[in-house]
Chains A and B, each alone.
Chain A
Amino acid sequence: MFYREAGQFKTSYEKDQALFPIRQDKIGLGVILLIAFVVIPLTANDFFLASIMIPFLVFSLAAIGLNVLTGFCGQLSLGTGAFMGVGAYAAYKLTTIFPDVNVILLVLTSGIFSAIVGAIFGLPSLRIKGLYLAVTTLAAQFFLEWCFIRIGWLYNYNASGAIEIPTREMLGVVISGAEATPLARYFVVLSITVVIAFLISNVLRGRIGRSWMMIRDMDIAAELMGIRPLQTKLMAFAVSSYICGVAGAMMVFFWLNAAEPSSYSITLSFQILFMVILGGLGSVGGAFMGAAFIWILPIVLRAIPSMLGVDIGAETVEHLAFMVIGALIIFFLIVEPHGFARLWQIAKQKLRVWPFPY
């Protein structure tokens, strides 16, 4: 209906291969970016920015990271939380060691450590596939979590065992630490997420992205066509972990201000995995949709009883929220195992061929 594509023809491969070849998609993306960069900052209150938008963006980025590995390269991972933790602890150590360096730069650098760790734990993927591989990533999860607790150097031997983020400025504006305004942090998180999402989309549509999908879809055929399985998988592990690492660092630097090892526990891994699955494996846009669903739904669920004026204990609400989320996850898996991205694809296709059914 809204997709009126008549007259949109491509006279070059550049245009034909564009990320958004359809004009309406380009406009839609423009509108979303406008809302994100202009409308929300102008209208939203601190609660909305700090408790909804910032975590949503952080999780979106982490979901993109996991999606690279699981959705595009087909390697199941349950260690996302730990890889995010590596990013967080690395960034924390870096600010301690280089207090004068721009914190954004350090956050982006911290991903490299996470990438290295990710690649190491990706090594078994050469021989191990599917659920078995998931177990090896669980090894990473528990081992790294243990490291965060036991290696005091990582948290500067704080008595609390947590990392606390120092105040850092950029261009005279405080962007990290407790004094930073939600708005400033929002802009940092939004910019990093958007830029990384854009860059990774470029990788995904090119040679490297294709080689990952080859491994995912039919690893034997891929190998017989000259794809080196180990290199390709390790690269996916590294890139995925880099992105997760950056997300993990952002999580503590621009959202939580302080983090304990339990912030990066297996629960987080599952949360991100849910975002990816419900959002849609193999879709960058889906990662955003999944993150929105998993993060925002509980907030809404918790708010519902008080909105309705029903007086229920906070704990009960929490329990009910758990049940509803669990049930909704199962519901969506049954309705559309390929996630929101596929639902959106179907809807979009319907709109494109409207009023026809196909």
Chain B
Amino acid sequence: MAGLAGAASSGGDTFPKILLHNADVFGTRTAFREKDFGIWQSWTWSEVLNEIRTFSLGLADLGLQKGDKVAIVGSNRPRLYWSMVAVQALGGVPVPVYADSVAEEMAYVLGHAEVRFAVVEDQEQVDKLLSMKEQVTSLEQVVYDEARGLRSYDHTCLHSFETVQQLGRKNLEAKPDLAEAWSEGFSGQTGADVAVMLYTSGTTGRPKGVMLSFDNLVISARNGNAFDNLDQTEEVLAYLPMAWIGDHVFSLAQAFTAGYCVNCPESMDTIDVDRLEIAPTYFFAPPRVFENMLTAIMVKMEDAGKLKRKMFDFFMGVARRAGEKILNGEQVPLSDRLLYGLGEFFVYGPLKNRMGLTRLKVGYTAGEAIGPEIFRFYRSLGLNLKQLYGQTEASVYITLQPDGEIFGDTVGKPAPDVELKIADSGEVMYRSPGVFVGYFKNDEATRSTKTEDGWVHTGDAGIIAENGHLKIIDRAKDVGKLADGSLFAPKYIENKLKFFPNIKEVVAFGDGRDMVGVFINIDLTSVGSWAERNNVNYASYQELAAHPDVYKMIEGHVDQVNRDLSGEPMMAGAQVRRFLVLHKELDADDGELTRTQKVRRSFIAERYAPLIEALYDGSKGKHIKTEVTFEDGRIGSIEATVEIRDMPLYEAASGMEEAAE
């Protein structure tokens, strides 16, 4: 493995070893910060070593053994990150779990992983774990970070983070050579040992536990650091779920290998302010975050004064024309360069400042396709935003966009050390040092995903373009054919529609049918502000969604997409024939979305079967009643008559001309 030589030359091959190294080399540099009690509480690397060591020793005292699984549940907090390394130092395996998953989901994961210990954030999580002690019989000890409300609980098996650390500290005082012994304990670990188990949320079936070794993570992280020249001076904001591979790599693996600082926000309410304060130099977000930021910008600008809006529009025009070229180092007329400089002062700079991206060195978006308009918007401001394509099974990195080779519709070239190929079925496959060890207690799945010689099925259909960049079309299994044989890639259509800010979510149907029909979810922020400006009155989401003016607007968007599709030879056959606007927002609480906010197609097909039926039987509308879960957990139902509209189609050849008119 080529990349390993340079990257792994220092620091060690497991996180506990890297920790020792960092405490030594970066001792006084800040390693973690957390906005807590109003200020950014900070820890240097040597302090972090100390914290992790005492906690680790405390866990050992509580009886944590090599090979034990430890659940980590909660939002991004330094202590939870430390817990993972503390567990690893004892030879245990941390299992981060999505903190907002419902008890049932969590119980399955914890039971499957056979966790013995759990380190959790607060009372809410403790309650959740206590409620599932029947399902999770292996669970013995629970450690919590936040003591609030837990005073009166029985503490025989429940410990606060501090008391565990005190335990460790006491032992350390009693036996001063314990520190030495602790380091000794993990010096024998190798890169091949399992470092962490991450459960993939999976759009279908039960979650699977992906076992990643230290090598997987450490080498991938070092390659990533080298690729973007990341070093100990970076600042990142850890705000994505800890159970997600993205966060694990960015906020732990890369942070440890590069030695940079991880900042945990105060709460999800304050994230915008926290990002503004920290101004991360390396930022990672799914497209959704960028979309929301852009929507917020546009909505706010709508409320700005006329002059300001004019100025904004003018300079955004300049940015569209010249911004990306300047970022890519291309030739730009002097006048545009000057205007861009002016725009930087008046608009781009302040805009980046408000988003907290002033210091951004490189930003990534991944997880889903990002709208080309959105992508271009950020890049035209001079932000080095790039796309990457990755998976839990690959320790994130499969392909990356190198600096200067940014194309909106592709996800980049293979990352360092990654081999890529397209299977005969059209499915993308890869082989890399980051390839996972296997699925925990699920050899069958492991075998069907990972070939004997180490190639992994991504499950995505894609093509490699002439310039060597990978282009993803859809999930391999979702790509289907219409009854007339034309290619139907639902995600492709959905994404095209979702790139309109007014549309939040789309579900396309058509496999095996004679035409394409779609469900559309409007974006409440965007459409709501549109309604306000246009004096459209509405009392509820449902009313807004069914409003004729809204329908008209959406119809325009669908028409635009059909035109676009007609221009692409492979996709022209699958234009949208009929659509409807859903009366309720798709929601993870109702099981319609995954916890990472991806559409659960089959579930929706089942739940809204009558609507699908109506899409294809030519009716103009359909009455439907749907069960919903309210925020407080109550179950209720809403009903509505949903209108269905027909759309004209464009011919594949003439579509181009019409579009050009």
A residues adjacent to B (C-beta < 8 A): 1, 3-13, 15-16, 353-358
Number of A-B contacts (CB under 8 A): 70
B300 CB contact (under 8 Å) in A1, A3, A6, A357:
A357
| A3 CA to B276 CA, complexed, in Å | 12
> By CB atoms of chain A within 10 A, which of B39, B279, B301, B352 has the most?
B39
User: Please, which residues of chain B bring their CB within 8 A of the CB of A11?
Assistant: 33, 39-42
B 325-369 contacts with A by CB, 8 A: 345-347, 349-359
Asked whether B303 is an interface residue with its Cβ less than 8 Å from the other chain, the reply is yes
A296 to chain B, nearest CB (A): 30
Complex interface bits, B294-312 against A, C-beta within 8 A gives 1, otherwise 0: 0001001101110010011
A251–B39 CA distance with the chains assembled, in angstroms: 44
Identify the closest chain B residue to A351 (Cβ).
B350
Query: Which residues of the other chain, B, contact A4 by a CB distance below 8 angstroms?
Result: 349-350, 353, 358
How close is A8's CB to chain B, nearest CB, in angstroms? 7
B278 at the A interface (CB under 8 A): yes
B38 an interface residue at 8 Å Cβ cutoff? yes
Contact for A16 among B38, B278, B311, B347, CB less than 8 A: B38
Check if A6 sits within 8 Å of B41, measured CB to CB: no
Nearest-CB residue, chain A, relative to B33: A11
CB contact under 8 A between A7 and B312, given known A1-B350, A357-B304? no
The answer on a CB contact under 8 Å between B353 and A6 is yes
Q: Do the beta carbons of A355 and B42 come within 8 Å of each other? A: no
Residues of A with C-beta under 8 A to B347: 355
Q: Does B104 contact A (CB under 8 A)?
A: no
* Distance between Cα atoms of A16 and B38 in the complex (Å): 8
Shortest Cβ distance from residue A10 to the other chain B in the assembled complex, whole angstroms: 5
Minimum C-beta distance from B31 to chain A (A): 13
Which residues of chain B are near A6, meaning CB under 8 Å?
276-277, 279, 352-359
**Do A5 and B353 contact each other (CB < 8 Å), given the known contacts A11-B41, A357-B303, A358-B303?**
yes
What is the CB-to-nearest-CB distance from B320 to chain A, in angstroms, rounded to a whole number? 16
Complex alpha-carbon distance, A13 and B352, angstroms: 27
Q: Flag if B40 contacts A7 (CB, 8 Å).
A: no
Could you tell me the distance between the alpha carbons of A53 and B583 in the complex, rounded to whole angstroms?
A: 68
When chains A and B are docked, how far (Å) is the Cα of A13 from the Cα of B303?
35
What A residues does B39 contact at CB under 8 A? 10-13, 15-16
Known: A5-B276, A6-B276, A355-B304. 15 other contacts (CB 8 A): A1-B345, A3-B353, A4-B349, A4-B353, A6-B352, A6-B353, A7-B279, A8-B277, A11-B33, A11-B40, A11-B42, A16-B39, A355-B301, A355-B308, A357-B308
17 sampled A-B residue pairs with Cβ under 8 A: A4-B358, A6-B276, A6-B352, A6-B355, A6-B356, A6-B358, A7-B279, A9-B40, A11-B40, A11-B41, A13-B39, A353-B354, A355-B308, A356-B301, A357-B300, A357-B308, A358-B303
Instruction: Check B300–A358 contact: CB distance below 8 A.
Output: yes
Going nearest first, the 10 A-B pairs with the smallest beta carbon separation are A7-B279, A6-B279, A9-B277, A6-B358, A356-B300, A4-B353, A357-B304, A354-B350, A11-B40, A6-B353
- Inter-chain contacts of B38 with A (CB < 8 A): 13, 16
Q: Mark B166-185, 1 if CB is under 8 A from A, else 0.
A: 00000000000000000000
Contacts of B304 in A (CB 8 A): 355-357
The B interface is mostly helix, strand or loop, or mixed, namely: helix
Interface residues of B in 1-43 (CB under 8 A from A): 33, 38-42
A355 pairs with B351, CB closer than 8 A: yes
Task: Decide if B276 touches A1 in the complex (CB within 8 Å).
Answer: no
Which residue of A6, A9, A16, A353 has the most chain B CB atoms within 10 A of its CB atom?
A: A6
Minimum CB–CB distance for B650 against chain A, Å: 39
Question: Can you name the residue of chain B whose Cβ is closest to the Cβ of A14?
Answer: B39
Given known contacts A355-B308, A358-B303, A7 and B278 CB-to-CB distance under 8 angstroms = yes
A352 → B minimal CB distance (Å): 9
Q: In the complex, what distance in Å separates the CA atom of A355 from the CA atom of B347?
A: 6
**Which residues of A lie under 8 Å from residue B356 when comparing CB positions?**
6-7
Would you call B276 and A355 a contact (CB within 8 A)?
Answer: no
Min CB distance A123 to B, Å, is 40
Minimum C-beta distance from B354 to chain A (A): 7
Most buried by B among A1, A353, A354: A354
Residues of chain A contacted by B312 (CB below 8 angstroms): 355
Query: Shortest Cβ distance from B380 into chain A, in angstroms?
Result: 15
CA distance A9 to B38 in the complex (A): 11
Give Cα distance in the complex from A354 to B347, angstroms.
8
> What is the bound-complex CA distance between A5 and B356, given in angstroms?
8
Q: Within the complex, what minimum Cβ distance (angstroms) separates A185 from chain B?
A: 42
Q: Check B350 against A355 for contact (C-beta < 8 Å).
A: yes
- With a cutoff of 8 Å between Cβ atoms, the chain B residues found around residue A15 in the complex are 39
Per the bound structure, the CA–CA distance linking A358 and B297 in Å amounts to 11
Q: In the assembled complex, how far is the CB of residue A97 from the closest CB belonging to chain B, in whole angstroms?
A: 52
Contacts of A8 in B (CB 8 A): 277
CA distance A30 to B345 in the complex (A): 23
Contact partners of B42 in chain A: CB under 8 A: 11
Closest-by-CB residue of B relative to A354 is B350
What chain A residues lie within 8 Å of B357 (beta carbons)?
A: 6
Closest to B37 in A: A13
**B213-243 residues at the A interface, CB under 8 angstroms:** none
- Count chain B CB atoms within 10 A of each CB in A7, A10, A357 and give the residue with the most: A7
- Contact assessment for B353 and A9 in the assembled complex, using a CB-CB cutoff below 8 Å: no
For A5, list chain B residues within 8 Å (CB). 276-277, 353
The CA of A355 and the CA of B307, in the complex, are separated in Å by 11
For residue B42, which residue of chain A has the nearest CB? Answer: A11
CA distance A8 to B304 in the complex (A): 26
B357: nearest chain-A partner, CB-CB: A6
Which of B33, B279, B311, B359 contacts A355, CB < 8 Å? B311
